[in-house]
Structure 1
């Protein structure tokens, strides 16, 4: 079977160009609306199957994903692998500033279930990796053993480099170039482009 690619994935989502402040605190020029990604399981099925196949080699006991899309994906991948599923929920401080301010917490019911287990972390899209970084920290805090991170689409290198530096392999069904900027280094800010804060609406990056 031919591996689905970035172009096929981007056909499934809505996107627009502009100047955006993302959840990670970085600025970017592309925003993807992922809310309806899982509305038609048949269309996303080949991507889910490819990610599940990639995760088999890691011998996982559970799959964890951040709400919303990452949790939907985690449940599908866990079902394909015949392992447990769990999810994390975002907590964004009211005065969030700087980079990676968002926290991702396990519901109480899952805290003891993940202890000592080999867990794969998945999200629909990863760029800077804010949601997966938060999930990684939360799993470690409760004694889980994160062994792999994965996404249907990995944009750029920032998120993947974070996990690679910690010895966590990153599985991507598709990859695409993507530019992120620190607020003080953003060329769109320098050009005076209006900034839209999409982090408040749940967009991850």
Structure 2
């Protein structure tokens, strides 16, 4: 299955909706994935995708895999199992500040030490990269070395990784086009379009 068909299958499965959304990163965007958590309800159905992502990550000689709760950590655990590696997770400890970019914080469990460990950071879907960036910061603070980011799907105006990911290589199974706008220059805001509530998008 090629990148285009894979991205179409994933976005359909994830309940993609269009609108004018406020994302965790603080950016505005035109795409919302309503059913991310449902992706992991039947883990066996993801086995081919997990195996392929694990194969891509294995080239980086990692010691373990870390993902942000919820969906990213579920995928990270499956990849770690596939590679027989250690698994860690981060949890959001501070929600984003209104009007700020990349202000959400994700933390490892207290006392987690990763000195000298080469870590793959895995999320189910990476858009602007808020949860992945915050997880990377937490891994660094614990003494680990993030060496690669893995995802089933990346989103954005181009297939290039967002600058927020600090130049780390990104291994993904597919990419889907979406728009990201700084709130200060958002064309939807300029047109007077209100933000779409995710619940409204889910029912549309």
The TM-score normalised by the length of structure 2 is 0.88
Q: What SS does structure 1 have at the residue aligned with 2:10?
A: helix
Match in the other structure for 1:19: 20
Equivalent residues of 1:91, 1:105 under 8 A apart: yes
Q: Following TM superposition, by how much is the alpha carbon of 1:121 offset from its aligned partner in structure 2, in angstroms?
A: 0.1
Partner of 2:39: 37
Give the corresponding residue for 1:161: 162
Q: Note closer, same or farther for the CA distance 1:145–1:165 as it changes in structure 2 (3 Å cut).
A: closer
8 Å CA contact 2:120, 2:150 repeated in 1: yes
1:58 counterpart residue number: 60
For the 8 Å contact 1:22–1:197, the answer to whether it is kept is no
Query: What's the CA shift string for 1:26-52, capped at 9, x where partnerless?
Result: 001111021211112233222211111
Q: Secondary structure at the match of 2:45?
A: helix
Q: Is the 8 A contact 1:152 1:174 kept in 2?
A: yes
Q: Does 1:122 align with 2:122?
A: yes
Residue matched to 1:76: 78
Q: Distance in 1 between matches of 2:109 and 2:94?
A: 16
Deviation at 1:145, TM superposition (A): 0.7
**Structure 1: distance between partners of 2:69 and 2:87:** 13
Are 2:96 and 2:105, in contact at CA under 8 Å, matched by a contact in 1? no
Q: Note closer, same or farther for the CA distance 1:31–1:148 as it changes in structure 2 (3 Å cut).
A: same
Report deviation, 1:116.
1.4
Deviation at 1:92, TM superposition (A): 2.5
Q: Give secondary structure in 1 for the equivalent of 2:121.
A: strand
Aligned-residue CA RMSD in angstroms?
A: 2.1
- In the superposition, relative to structure 1, how do residues 91 and 14 fare at CA in structure 2: closer, same or farther (>3 Å)? same
Query: SS at the partner of 2:193?
Result: coil
How far 1:22 moved relative to its partner? Answer: 0.4
Contact 2:25 2:96 in 1 (8 A): no
* Aligned counterparts of 2:15 and 2:146: Cα–Cα separation in 1: 31
Quick check: 1:102 aligned with 2:104?
yes
Q: What is the aligned length? A: 195
Q: In the TM superposition, what is the alpha-carbon distance from 1:14 to its structure 2 partner?
A: 1.0
Q: Tell me, which stretches of 5 or more residues in structure 1 are unaligned?
A: 199-205
Q: 1:170 matched to which residue of 2?
A: 170
- Deviation readout 1:58-84 (Å, 9 max, x if unpaired): 011100000000000000000000100
SS of residue paired to 2:192: coil
Q: Is the 8 A contact 2:63 2:85 kept in 1?
A: yes
